[in-house]
Amino acid sequence: MSSLSKDVVQPRFALISATLASFLTPFTSSSLNLAIPAIGAEFKADALSLNWVVSAFLLTSAVFLLPFGRLADLYGRKKIFLAGISSYTLFSLLSALAPNLLFLIAFRALQGISSAMIFGTAVAILTSVFPPQERGRVLGINAAAVYTGLTLGPFLGGLLTHHFGWRSIFLVTFLIGVTTFTLAGTRLKSEWVGGRGEKFDFVGSLLSILSLGALIYGASSLSSGTIYVFLLLLGIIGIGIFAWYERHTSYPLLNLKLFLSNRPFAFSNLAALINYSATFGSGFLLSLYLQVAKGLDPQLAGSILLVQSLMQVILSPVAGYLSDRIEPRLVASTGMALTCLGLLTLAFLGLNSPLTLVVANLVLLGIGFGLFSSPNTNAVMSSVSKTYYGIASSTLGTMRLVGQALSMGIVALVFSFYFKGASITPETSALLLKSNHISFLTFAALSAAGILASLARGEIHGTNV
């Protein structure tokens, strides 16, 4: 194969491989949401135990992102990517064969670790392969794959569970994983290493895993008792110790100069943290509003909520393309402003609010998030040198998962204040509306702060990275 044809083919297969991998993990997770009742029925499990089927994956995925991102930079992004795909595929098969709930939770935790290898490398590989003037477009396609997985997951998950049982979800995931691994393993000929010759920071990795684990678990469980407040504080203190250690070690896991002296990188990550903190809980709140307050069945409520994801699928590639030609901060900040407007309007939903208003706001949120996500990713990846592509991608992923945990923590705190242990039923719809009002106002205020963070990142185009 000539060097010219290789230059054309390599990016193409890198995009296909990364897109399939980015579809895989959100598809599995969103599909499983529909299978939880069936899993509970088979294993005779209570709600708290079933929650760990989802939480174990999220927790391990979040805490291992930074270590695997750094390992990818040091020893090869393709190596870690292939290790992530192969292990995720293996644990999908084992999950399908799980004899009891404990094994299923364990395999889901291991899937989370595997997904950290994928999250920490897929975007880094795309950034390594494609030139700066094309990054926004391909990162937009990659983001669209994530939203497609989130969109198709609930529909296909319900279909598979109804006709073939919940184990079929993992078997489908296994087949997609085998396809992705075969394609990436045979077609990706190059290797991408950023920090060759440097040492891996084991102490920093351990500190980050323990601190982030405590922070995320504590933040997402704040309303469950004072021990979780203590856990959250422990996580914050641990991150402080981690930051101190990283500044005094020769080969840090996370080079803090990326935050202290790289304005686009610092403010783009801050904008991502704020954006996910402000938006992740909205789907949960609207699901309750539609089913409990408006009395819709789950299928109809789910169909309405799909509107936002569909808009994100459509807009992400367009927004990425725009960010190649217009400063990412302008595109992303516009998206954040539209998100803020949508969240503010949702704060005033009442029992008699028309469904068309909900749909219109979901369209607005979908456009807002679609305009924000891929340009913000483009800004993060374009603000660092090739040495840090893996850790930059992992840092952004960590911001996403911490933001999601904080978002649900805010919702849990507000609900605990208004409901005080009462069940969420049509009879308590008034309490639900009050909770939604305060939650959405809080989210809108966060989004307003996010606009400022997004604008403050500065210029990306024209910098020599």
pLDDT tens, residue by residue, 183-204? 988 888 777 777 667 889 999 9
Q: How confident is the model at residue 245 (pLDDT cuts 50, 70, 90)?
A: very high
Please state whether 415 falls in left (phi above 0), alpha (psi between -120 and 50) or beta. Answer: alpha
Among 37-41, 248-252, 254-258, 296-300, name the one with the lowest average pLDDT.
296-300
Q: Identify the CA nearest to 451 among candidates 183, 252, 270.
A: 270
Looking at residue 438, its pLDDT comes to 95
Provide the CATH topology of domain 1-195: Growth Hormone; Chain: A; (1.20.1250)
Considering only residues 134 and 340, tell me which one the structure prediction assigns the higher pLDDT: 340
Considering only residues 81 and 404, tell me which one the structure prediction assigns the higher pLDDT: 81
Ranked by mean pLDDT, the top range of 46-55, 80-89, 275-284, 370-379 is 80-89
Tens digit of each residue's pLDDT (9 = 90 or more) over 377-399: 989 988 988 888 888 888 988 88
Percent of the chain at pLDDT exceeding 70: 95
Instruction: Domain ranges for the chain, please list them.
Output: 1-195, 201-252, 261-458
Three-class HEC string of the chain:
CCHHHHHHHHHHHHHHHHHHHHHHHHHHHHHHHHHHHHHHHHHCCCHHHHHHHHHHHHHHHHHCHHHHHHHHHHHCHHHHHHHHHHHHHHHHHHHHCCCCHHHHHHHHHHHHHHHHHHHCCHHHHHHHHCCHHHHHHHHHHHHHHHHHHHHHHHHHHHHHHHHHCCHHHHHHHHHHHHHHHHHHHHHCCCCCCCCCCCCCCHHHHHHHHHHHHHHHHHHHCHHHCHHHHHHHHHHHHHHHHHHHHHHCCCCCCCCCHHHHCCHHHHHHHHHHHHHHHHHHHHHHHHHHHHHHHCCCCHHHHHHHHHHHHHHHHHHHHHHHHHHHHCCHHHHHHHHHHHHHHHHHHHCCCCCCCCHHHHHHHHHHHHHHHHHHHHHHHHHHHHCCCHHHHHHHHHHHHHHHHHHHHHHHHHHHHHHHHHHCCCCCCHHHHHHHHHHHHHHHHHHHHHHHHHHHHHHCCCCCCCCCC
**pLDDT reading at 220 higher than 80:** no
* Six-digit token string for 294: 């408006």
- Do domains 1-195 and 261-458 share one topology? The answer is yes
Question: 109 and 62 in contact (C-beta within 8 Å)?
Answer: no
Looking at residue 4, its pLDDT comes to 37
Dihedral sign, Cα of residue 68, residue 69, residue 73, residue 79? positive
Percent of the chain at pLDDT exceeding 90: 43
Looking at residue 408, its pLDDT comes to 79
Looking at residue 2, its pLDDT comes to 38
Considering only residues 338 and 301, tell me which one the structure prediction assigns the higher pLDDT: 338
Looking at residue 8, its pLDDT comes to 46
Q: How confident is the model at residue 108 (pLDDT cuts 50, 70, 90)?
A: very high
User: Exposure pattern of 119-130 as b/e (b: 16+ CB <10 Å)?
Assistant: bbbbbbbbbbbb
Please say whether the structural domain 261-458 has been given the CATH code 1.10.760.10.
no
**pLDDT reading at 48 higher than 50:** yes
Across 7-19, average pLDDT: 78
* Six-digit token string for 84: 């992530």
**pLDDT reading at 461 higher than 70:** no
Looking at residue 462, its pLDDT comes to 56
Looking at residue 33, its pLDDT comes to 73
Q: How many Å is the Cα radius of gyration of the chain?
A: 21
Looking at residue 3, its pLDDT comes to 39
Tens digit of each residue's pLDDT (9 = 90 or more) over 402-427: 888 788 788 888 888 888 767 778 88
**pLDDT reading at 267 higher than 90:** yes
Among 228-242, 310-324, 384-398, 408-422, name the one with the lowest average pLDDT.
408-422
Alpha-carbon distance 35 to 33, whole Å? 6
Across 138-163, average pLDDT: 84
